[in-house]
Amino acid sequence: MPEPSRALPQPTPETQHFWDGTREGELRLQRCDGCGKAYFPPRPFCASCGSRKVSVFKASGKGTLWSYVIHHRPVAGFTPPYAIAVVQLAEGPRMMSNIVECAQTPEALQLDMPLEVVFEKQNDSITLPLFRPAKG
């Protein structure tokens, strides 16, 4: 029997640029043209100042491990234990993701450890941004 696949996000008009980016190997964030703040998740206005003048830009893909929880129960598409992590991106916003190429243990998952994005294609429309320990 094939493994049940993980639940995937559905692109919306507001998030399409993000999924177009991951498919092309780019992590795209938005930045307010008014106050300069970078933000995520995608939305058509700045949550800080309310400006609707916002731009999409390519992020570095660098970040650090902000926090995480380790799940021990099986969920479709995941083999426990696995960590659900919050990554502090270098540009400022935080993003929920998974940490790959790393043991899913508190010993291996050190807070503030440097991470870098990797892209994992799920299907023709969705490529997920995941993070692995930065390789220098």
Residue 45 beta carbon to Zn ion: minimum distance, rounded to whole angstroms: 8
- Beta-carbon contacts of residue 21 (< 8 Å; ≥ 6 apart): 27, 28, 56, 58
Size of the site for Zn ion (CB under 5 A): 7
Residue 6 beta carbon to Zn ion: minimum distance, rounded to whole angstroms: 34
Residue 118 beta carbon to Zn ion: minimum distance, rounded to whole angstroms: 30
For position 122 contacting Zn ion by CB under 5 A, the verdict is no
Task: Return the DSSP state at 115.
Answer: E
Nearer to Zn ion, 5 or 48 (CB): 48
Chain residues 30-89 in contact with Zn ion, contact rule CB under 5 A = 32, 34-35, 46, 48-49, 51
Q: How far apart are CA 133 and CA 80, in angstroms?
A: 19
For the chain, the distance separating the N- and C-terminal CA atoms, rounded to the nearest angstrom, is 40
Nearer to Zn ion, 19 or 39 (CB): 39
Nearer to Zn ion, 38 or 85 (CB): 38
What is the Cα Rg of the chain in Å? Answer: 16
Residue 52 beta carbon to Zn ion: minimum distance, rounded to whole angstroms: 10
What's the distance, CA 120 to chain centroid? 11
Question: Of 3, 4, 18, 13, which is closest to residue 128 (Cα–Cα)?
Answer: 18
Residue 104 beta carbon to Zn ion: minimum distance, rounded to whole angstroms: 37
Q: Are 60 and 90 within 8 A, CB to CB? A: yes
Nearer to Zn ion, 50 or 81 (CB): 50
The binding site for Zn ion (CB under 5 A) comprises: 32, 34-35, 46, 48-49, 51
